[in-house]
Structure 1
Amino acid sequence: MNRTTQSLIAVAVALGAVTGFAAFGGRDGTGDDGAKSAAHQPVERTSLLCPVPSGSDLAETSYTAYTPKGSGGAAKGTAELVPVTKALTDAPKDDGKKTKPFLTQKAPGEPVAGEESGAEAPALIGTADGALAPGWTVQQTTTYAAGSGRGMQGANCTAPDTDFWFPGASTAKGRSDYIHLTNPDDSAAVVDVELFGPDGEVTSQVGDSIQVQPHSSVPVLLSTLADKQYPNLTMHVTARSGRVAAAVQSSDDKLGGDWLPASADPADSLVLPGIPKDATSVRLVAYAPGAEDADLKVQLASPTGTITPAGHESLQVKSGMTAAVDLDDVTKGEAGSLLLTPTDKAVPVVAALRVTRGKGSKQETAFIPATEAVGTRATVADNRAKGSVLSLVAPGKSARVKVTASAGTEGGTPASKTYTVKGGTTLEIDHPPVPSGLKGAYALTVEPVSGGEVRASRMLSRTDEGIPMFTVQTLPDDRGTVAVPTAERDLSVLQK
């Protein structure tokens, strides 16, 4: 018997041990040769990574973690955030001591919060298991009133992956964009960073094979990867080995800044939800990664219906090139969401918006990437009694949506309300549900009840010395469940 056959037999035995119940789990106890749909079970473990929040001594950063209450799954669990600089020391030692986590959550439905000040706040590695894993969400929000990027910068801490697209990056004068790469694993990750401008790929060898050591975070200044200044770029981040979390921190000398999250995966139709009604400038940046050009219809889902912005009816995105268009004050005083659909042939694209509020020296910016549908459920943490605005858009059919406010981090009773979003419109909720007796921050959970697909975003804002500070986070499905396919023994894999 050769080594290959022995290995295959070992695999078959192992799979049989794991999937034997599924193989003989038919309704009559004799198995079922027909196709079965996958069952959805709560995830058992979730990993999230929070980038280094700021390099400013004036920065004040708050963290809020939350897991929605759910049904099924484990009865108990743990969830904690640990600084990456200490993660390596968390392995058991001879003295039995373990580094104290920065933030720990003890039960679903009970948000927790922590704070950091100054420029020394580290990146954080978070893990949640058992009952705390399904839908675990962590938000970091940083504010500071002076210096490049001043304003409010918010980021949803993200799961590690191997592929990310960032339309809307820049190496323009006065702007500093960093890509933060964080590795949660015990082995090094090797990452490639590619930039694409209006004429195609920006040639650079510096972005190849970037080493990200275990349990560490690496910031890379985009201008070191480009041969000249580019106002609009699309960045592609891929991990050759291992996996990382990736997010772009954008700072402008005059226009503030924010975190640019990754766009949804390339698709022929995209939704960019929640443009503020008082936006003074909106820039759309798109990229077509395939071999064909994309011709896109540009529409705005307003509170009353879908309209076509005058002078911006369509956008052509050439293959491998970044296209950008300034839509100015496209919302005209009403909240809206941008809809991109093919005019003819369906060609996958990625896209993001750079949104500006304010005027003159009192301007501030944020980003809205294309996002996936809410799906079963989505959650956003770090909402406040004032300054939280929720936007819901139904790009197709009308939908009914339940919005639940959790308890506060320091007290309060959950509250919920159901809304109807008409097809082709954006519903801006200036006053989303707030827990009664609220103390501290709280989380909002969005759950479609009936009807068509829904996209959502949350704007968090405050005014400081006349600057309209704000940040926008999209609400894709929290992936609190995973599909577990039925399986059966198949020893034919051993035959050649």
Structure 2
Amino acid sequence: MNRTALALAAAVTALVAITGFASLTAPSGSDSTVTKAAARLPVERSSLLCPAPSTSDLAETRYTSFTPAGKAGKDGGATGTAQLLPSTTDDGKKGKGSKKSASDKPLLSLKEPGKPVTDEESGGETPALIGAADGRLAPGWAAQQTTTVDAGSSRGVLGTRCTAPDTDFWFPGASTSADRQDYVHLTNPDDTAAVADIELYGKDGAIKSDVGEGITVPARSSVPVLLSTLAPDPADNVTVHVSTRTGRVGAVVQSMDDKVGSDWLPASASPAGKLVLPGIPADATSVRLVAFAPGSDDADLKIQLAAEDGTITPAGHESLHLKAGMTAAVDLGDLTKGIAGSLVLSQDGGGKAVPFVAALRVVRGKGSKQEVAFIPATGPVGERATAADNRSKGSVLSLTAPGATAKVKVTASAGSGGGEPVVKTYVVKGGTTLATKPPVPSGLKGSYALTVEPQPGGGPVYAARTLELPQGGIPMFTVQTLPDDRGTVSVPTARQDLSLLNN
């Protein structure tokens, strides 16, 4: 038998194996040539990473872990685990914080969907956490860390959603200025080392530095990198790009400002031609927009504010020109004028949409009693999103419908220490932002989770949750955006097609 015949025989054998496997999944009596639409099924495993919360001895951190009720994997929801475990430090040793973090035992374990669990840690030695969930606890699993520091250079409320590992992140809104200390935290969840690059872009373009290239993040460990060590000169507004050469990491920027406090800057949504930044508080005294176009084309952004009564264009801040590869920033002042809103950024003119990323730096208070938070551009809620840590007072839920009117179901879960779930439905008119005190579980004890679910037939919804924890006259707060929780995944249906063998 010649080589051509052998190759043909091998190809036929491979195709028979493929179609034979497909036939195992095809329903009896179905038309094998008809391809059905992909089904959406609950995920069976989720991963989350939480950065090391603080180096301050005054830090008080609450962790909250939660999975919404209502969806389960293929096992019918009978089993499942969701755990957050301490990472190692960057020198390969275990974090020394509490007795929990000095061992291989989980810092936090979730037992059932629909009810959050919490843990509280004190001091500045709590390590980053690496989490995994499977079975009935995987779909929509969410975790939050909220840290309060009442004095010192890191004073403030620092809140962040624990996020999934990835290979590419954009952070517009960082800084290497003298009055700020910004660190990018890189956390590797895997059993082999990851290698990451950090690039900085200022108002004049790329900031040349070899220090940010080839940063090794050891297996199951976390490495903080001070951004000012990567730049030869201070810069007020910087865009940070984190990418991996090998492996994957979780990445988030911790910003500490001597004048206005501290918070986490999460990654912006992926570059797109239109972005929404939801949840600007009504009493914001200063709002700064920072944006960046990573491609080779300039972009002209149209700036609009979706407020309670409709979408307006702020006087004097109608647009922003982005030069390709250069960070642009504009101070919008007290943009909301006492009414909560969300920023909607789109392209000016009728030309092609240029992808960009964006984030807001928001300040509340005045003088020595100011506090800062960051709002990155985020994706729509999609099917469902969750804010894991809410208290009986101080939570504000922002829902934005930049297009058509939307109906949204909001569920307040049972409390971590007791209480019954409460459900409320809101209507968000097209082009507006609805900022409201969310429902609270009846008989609440402890903290609770909020789950947001847009109802069929309406336009896309963008959401954010503000948590206000004032101290000593300072309006301390943090804002977390609520993108889709990716609790389901599209699974194509395979069908045999023996006609392939006849070609």
> Structure 1 length as normaliser, TM-score?
0.93
CA deviations 1:252-275 (Å, max 9, x no partner) are 011101000000011111100010
Aligned to 2:404: 397
Aligned to 2:466: 459
Letter in 1 for 2:182: D
Alignment match of 1:77 (pick from 76, 80, 86): 80
Counterparts of 1:24-423 in structure 2, within 5 Å, are 24-25=26-27, 28-33=29-34, 35-73=35-73, 74=75, 75=77, 76-85=79-88, 99-344=104-349, 345=351, 346-423=353-430
CA distance in 1, matches of 2:93, 2:401: 45
Letter in 2 for 1:43: V
Where does structure 2 lack aligned partners over 5 or more consecutive residues? 95-102
Deviation at 1:452, TM superposition (A): 0.4
Change (3 A) 1:8 1:377: farther
CA distance in 2, matches of 1:309, 1:51: 36
CA contact (8 A) 1:294 1:342 kept: yes
CA distance in 2, matches of 1:120, 1:319: 41
Aligned to 2:431: 424
- Find the residue that maps to 1:78 and give its secondary structure: strand
Letter in 1 for 2:30: G
Deviation at 1:152, TM superposition (A): 0.2
Change (3 A) 1:447 1:174: same
CA deviations 1:190-233 (Å, max 9, x no partner) are 11111111111010101111101110000000001111101001
- Find the residue that maps to 1:21 and give its secondary structure: helix
CA deviations 1:114-168 (Å, max 9, x no partner) are 0110011010011000000000000000001111121100010000000111000
Runs of 4+ in structure 1 over 6 Å off:
1-14, 86-89, 490-496
CA distance in 1, matches of 2:105, 2:330: 48
Change (3 A) 1:103 1:322: same
Deviation at 1:5, TM superposition (A): 9.7
Deviation at 1:16, TM superposition (A): 5.6
Change (3 A) 1:14 1:458: farther
CA distance in 2, matches of 1:246, 1:481: 23
Letter in 2 for 1:319: A
CA contact (8 A) 1:234 1:287 kept: yes
Alignment match of 1:21 (pick from 8, 24, 28): 24
Aligned to 1:95: none
CA distance in 1, matches of 2:390, 2:425: 18
Q: Tell whether 2:441 aligns with 1:435.
A: yes
- Find the residue that maps to 2:118 and give its secondary structure: strand
CA distance in 1, matches of 2:231, 2:502: 52
Change (3 A) 1:7 1:158: farther
CA distance in 2, matches of 1:340, 1:165: 17
Change (3 A) 1:4 1:147: farther
CA distance in 2, matches of 1:6, 1:198: 61
CA distance in 2, matches of 1:209, 1:400: 47
CA distance in 1, matches of 2:498, 2:66: 45
CA contact (8 A) 2:194 2:247 kept: yes
CA distance in 2, matches of 1:225, 1:5: 56
Deviation at 1:236, TM superposition (A): 0.8
CA distance in 2, matches of 1:230, 1:493: 60
CA distance in 2, matches of 1:188, 1:12: 38
Matched length: 484
CA distance in 1, matches of 2:429, 2:136: 35
CA contact (8 A) 2:33 2:495 kept: no
CA contact (8 A) 2:305 2:342 kept: yes
Where does structure 1 lack aligned partners over 5 or more consecutive residues? 90-97
Alignment match of 1:446 (pick from 452, 459, 465): 452
Letter in 2 for 1:103: L
CA deviations 1:5-32 (Å, max 9, x no partner) are 999899868756764434x348x42413
CA contact (8 A) 1:88 1:215 kept: no
CA distance in 2, matches of 1:187, 1:404: 39
Work out the percentage of aligned pairs sharing the same amino acid: 65
CA distance in 2, matches of 1:175, 1:7: 63
CA deviations 1:329-382 (Å, max 9, x no partner) are 000010010000111221111000000000001111000000000000000111
Deviation at 1:414, TM superposition (A): 0.2
Change (3 A) 1:29 1:196: same
Letter in 1 for 2:477: F
Letter in 2 for 1:414: P
Deviation at 1:488, TM superposition (A): 4.3
Aligned to 2:484: 477
Letter in 2 for 1:47: S
CA distance in 1, matches of 2:500, 2:341: 54
CA distance in 1, matches of 2:171, 2:338: 28
CA distance in 2, matches of 1:82, 1:9: 48
Aligned to 1:93: none
Change (3 A) 1:82 1:493: farther
CA distance in 1, matches of 2:368, 2:113: 43
Change (3 A) 1:491 1:48: farther
Deviation at 1:477, TM superposition (A): 0.3
Change (3 A) 1:320 1:7: farther
Cα RMSD, aligned residues only:
2.4
CA deviations 1:167-208 (Å, max 9, x no partner) are 001001110000000000011111111111111101010111
Change (3 A) 1:305 1:488: same
Change (3 A) 1:381 1:29: same
CA contact (8 A) 2:385 2:485 kept: yes
> Structure 2 length as normaliser, TM-score?
0.92
